Amino acid sequence: MSCNSVKTKLSSYVDGEMSAAELQQVKRHVASCPDCYKQLEQFRGVRTSLRDLDAAPEAPSDLPDRVLRTIKSSRTNYFKFAFALAVPVLLAAMIISSRTPKPISNSDRDLTIKRQLAKDRIFDAGTDPTSGASLVHYTSFEGR
Amino acid sequence: MFTTRASKAVSFGLLVAIAAIAPSQDEKAQRYLFRSLAGDYRTNIVAVLKQRIANENGSKLVKIQRSMDGKTKESVLSPLHLQGEFLDDGKELKFYSPDDRLLIVQPNNPAAQDYKFRLPLIQKNYNIRLEPGRKVLGRNCVVVTAESKYPKVSDIRYSFDEKTGFPLSKEIIHSDKTVDLDYEVSDIKFPGKLDPSIFRIEPVVGVEVVNYAEQCVNRPSEAAQALGFVPLIPTRFPYGFQIQRMTISDKNKVKMLCLKLTDGLQRITIYEWVPAPGETITTGEDREIKLHNGLKIVAVADIDSGIRDSVLHTFIVRAEGDGPALITRIGI
């Protein structure tokens, strides 16, 4: 498969819209072609950015009116009083919450430990690449 | 007659002088090995090396781009499922895993790989020998064997590029004399310039960035205070291994002790922590040996399993004095 042919298919590859046979061909080519690999990375970045844009909620059409109404109502004494009371209460709650140790789930502990082990091995091998230590891939360690 | 005698005397004098000045063969071997450990290549390097994948029938291609001032980027080119990029930009160490959409960042601490600590250990644990030269990629190589003084520990044979000192291949010679090719460079260039953008990894949107810091400790008491439990720290290890660094994981979700051991050339990392009830860490072959205040010990290493087990055994011996321990191994 040529570079030109692969480059036209990268978009489908990233979107998962490809037959298994084609997928293997593209994978094989990208694994041995730094140019196509780089382009694939760019595609992945663009796709993620677009997904994030899609996911962002649209502002409701009446938002400006609602904001104005809120500002007007905040001028009432009642609101000022409530606000004055709420701020210290919220601050106190935040301080207490930050100092209280939160229970950790076992899956969270697993992930923390695996990441610690993986990152140490990655950086041992990376900082001494000709030591023969294998530059493991994070997922390969995670999957153990 | 006089002329002949005089010329002989001069020649002998020269030979003595050369012998005194010129390094011995083994000194030359040591010089190449130590230069490589220090990463002192004095040139930009772009190399692709083929490295075996431990416990798998296959190899991977890793591209190394290294600037004259030591900045390094390593990219796994194939196989695709192992792709990832490592960067040492002199300030930070970064690892980007595109499939996991994960970027791991930690400060670059030169002390972590301090070759000055390792040199005396190498001299203590290995005989460094010069072998007959060979060619790799048509380049003259200085072949050096690091022969362990412990018969059970494998020897290591390096082929260093004669001109730059860059190691072009590394072989493991096991105690039964079988040889495994650990890696060999399949392509190498020495470009005059390297684009500075090579030494940058910018996370794209949607990539999780995990930052690690490192808390070094020097004494067991200091470690115990930081960890909240008393770790097992043997004072002696087999096969000439020594503790190079002792750190505490900074992620306070799980307080872990990390002991980095080395014999100069090979490394073992030991972790200790108190597992939570029902914790099911599946990092390899778990083997419960004993219970000692619920302490869990894991060894991670790219070396013979027998050597790794012997080192772990020193922790068991240490634990036996105090009570039982829970031992875990990771097969690499």
ipTM confidence score: 0.75
Q: Are B170 and B312 members of one domain?
A: no
Mean pLDDT, residues B312-318: 76
Q: Is residue B12 in some structural domain? A: no
Contact (CB<8Å) B167/A130: yes
> Of all residues in chain A, what percent carry a pLDDT higher than 70?
60
| 3-class SS of residue A144 | coil
Sign of the dihedral defined by the CA atoms of residues A108, A113, A116, A120, in that order? negative
Query: Exposed, middle or buried: residue B24 (CB in 10 Å: 0-12, 13-18, 19+)?
Result: exposed
CB contacts, 8 Å: A27 with chain B: 80
Q: Are B130 and B238 members of one domain?
A: no
Q: Which amino acid is at A38?
A: K
| Paired strand residues for B19 | none
Q: Is residue B72 scored above 90 in pLDDT?
A: yes
Q: Are B83 and B167 members of one domain?
A: yes
Q: Is residue B3 in some structural domain? A: no
Q: Are B310 and B256 members of one domain?
A: yes
- Length of chain B, in residues: 332
Q: How far is CA A83 from CA A88, A93, A130, in A?
A: 9, 15, 62
Q: Is residue B13 in some structural domain? A: no
Mean pLDDT of chain A: 69
Q: Is residue B208 in some structural domain? A: no
Distance from CA of A58 to the nearest CA of B (A): 20
Q: Is residue B3 scored above 70 in pLDDT?
A: no
Task: Say how far apart CA B71 and CA A126 lie, in whole Å.
Answer: 11
Residue B161 near residue B35 (C-beta atoms within 8 A): no
Mean pLDDT of chain B: 82
Tell me which residue range forms the domain holding B129: 25-189
- The per-residue pLDDT for range B15-55, each reduced to its tens digit, is 455 445 556 888 999 999 999 888 889 999 999 999 887 66
Q: Is residue B53 in some structural domain? A: yes
Pick from B156, B189, B222: which residue ends a domain?
A: B189
With bands split at pLDDT 50, 70 and 90, how would you rate the model's confidence at A93? confident
Q: Is residue B199 in some structural domain? A: no
> Of all residues in chain B, what percent carry a pLDDT higher than 70?
80
- Reduced 3-state DSSP string for chain B: CHHHHHHHHHHHHHHHHHHHHCCCHHHHHHHHHHHHHCCCCCCCEEEEEEEECCCCCCEEEEEEEECCCCCEEEEEEECHHHCCEEEECCCEEEEEECCCCEEEEEECCHHHHCHHHHHHHHHHHEEEEEEEEEEECCEEEEEEEEEECCCCCCEEEEEEECCCCCEEEEEEECCCCCEEEEEEEEEEECCCCCCHHHHCCCCCCCCEEEECCEEECCCHHHHHHHHCCCCCCCCCCHHHCEEEEEEEECCCCCCCEEEEEECCCCEEEEEEECCCCCCCCCCCCECCCCCCCCCEEEEEECCCHHHHHHHHHHHHHHHHCCCCCEEEECCC
Distance from CA of A89 to the nearest CA of B (A): 28
| 3-class SS of residue A124 | helix
Span of A59-73, B12-26, B246-260 with lowest mean pLDDT:
B12-26
Q: Is residue A17 scored above 50 in pLDDT?
A: yes
Q: Is residue B19 in some structural domain? A: no
A124 and chain B in contact, CB less than 8 A: yes
Structure token digits, residue A62 = 């009446």
Task: Say how far apart CA B31 and CA B38 lie, in whole Å.
Answer: 11
Q: Is residue A141 scored above 60 in pLDDT?
A: no
Q: Are B72 and B169 members of one domain?
A: yes
Mean pLDDT, residues B1-26: 56
Residue A109: the pLDDT is: 77
With bands split at pLDDT 50, 70 and 90, how would you rate the model's confidence at B10? low
Q: Are B181 and B242 members of one domain?
A: no
Q: Are B167 and B225 members of one domain?
A: no
Residue among B50, B95, B330 with most chain A CBs within 10 A, to mutate: B95
Residue B270 near residue B301 (C-beta atoms within 8 A): no
| 3-class SS of residue A59 | coil
Residue B319: the pLDDT is: 55
Task: Say how far apart CA A105 and CA B153 lie, in whole Å.
Answer: 41
Q: Is residue B166 scored above 90 in pLDDT?
A: yes
Mean pLDDT, residues B125-150: 96
- My answer on whether omega of the bond before A101 falls inside 30° of 0, hence cis, is no
Q: Is residue B203 in some structural domain? A: no
Residue B9: the pLDDT is: 56
Task: Say how far apart CA B235 and CA B219 lie, in whole Å.
Answer: 12
> Of all residues in chain B, what percent carry a pLDDT higher than 90?
41
| Paired strand residues for B97 | B102
Q: How far is CA B48 from CA A5, A14, B80, B230, in A?
A: 25, 27, 16, 45
Residue A6 near residue A29 (C-beta atoms within 8 A): yes
Mean pLDDT, residues B81-90: 87
- The per-residue pLDDT for range B224-254, each reduced to its tens digit, is 888 888 888 888 899 999 998 899 986 667 8
Span of B18-32, B158-172, B189-203, B207-221 with lowest mean pLDDT:
B18-32
Q: Which amino acid is at B178?
A: T
**CATH number of the domain within which B263 lies:** 3.30.200
Give the orientation angle of helix B115-125 with respect to helix B25-37, to 10 degrees. 150
Contact (CB<8Å) A112/B280: no
Residue B330: the pLDDT is: 39
Q: Are B118 and B237 members of one domain?
A: no
- Classify residue B239 as left (phi > 0), alpha (psi -120 to 50) or beta: left
Q: Is residue B328 scored above 60 in pLDDT?
A: no
Residue B289: the pLDDT is: 39
Q: Are B267 and B170 members of one domain?
A: no
Q: Is residue B165 scored above 90 in pLDDT?
A: yes
CB contacts, 8 Å: B207 with chain A: 48
Q: Are B184 and B224 members of one domain?
A: no
Q: Is residue A50 scored above 50 in pLDDT?
A: no
Contact (CB<8Å) B282/A144: yes
With bands split at pLDDT 50, 70 and 90, how would you rate the model's confidence at A18? confident
Residue B47: the pLDDT is: 96
**CATH number of the domain within which B37 lies:** 2.50.20.10
Task: Say how far apart CA B33 and CA B10 lie, in whole Å.
Answer: 35
Mean pLDDT, residues B169-191: 93
Q: How far is CA A90 from CA A78, A82, A83, A85, A87, in A?
A: 18, 12, 10, 9, 5
Residue B238: the pLDDT is: 93
Closest CA to B115 of A123, A128, A135, A132: A128
Q: Are B137 and B250 members of one domain?
A: no
CB contacts, 8 Å: B172 with chain A: 132
- The per-residue pLDDT for range B271-292, each reduced to its tens digit, is 888 887 766 655 443 333 344 5
Q: Is residue B68 scored above 60 in pLDDT?
A: yes
Residue B1: the pLDDT is: 42
Closest CA to B59 of B159, B165, B155, B186: B186
A35 and chain B in contact, CB less than 8 A: no
Distance from CA of B137 to the nearest CA of A (A): 17
Residue A76: the pLDDT is: 59
Q: Are B324 and B224 members of one domain?
A: yes
Number of domains chain B contains: 2
With bands split at pLDDT 50, 70 and 90, how would you rate the model's confidence at A15? low
Task: Say how far apart CA B273 and CA B163 lie, in whole Å.
Answer: 47
Residue A99: the pLDDT is: 60
Q: Is residue A51 scored above 60 in pLDDT?
A: no
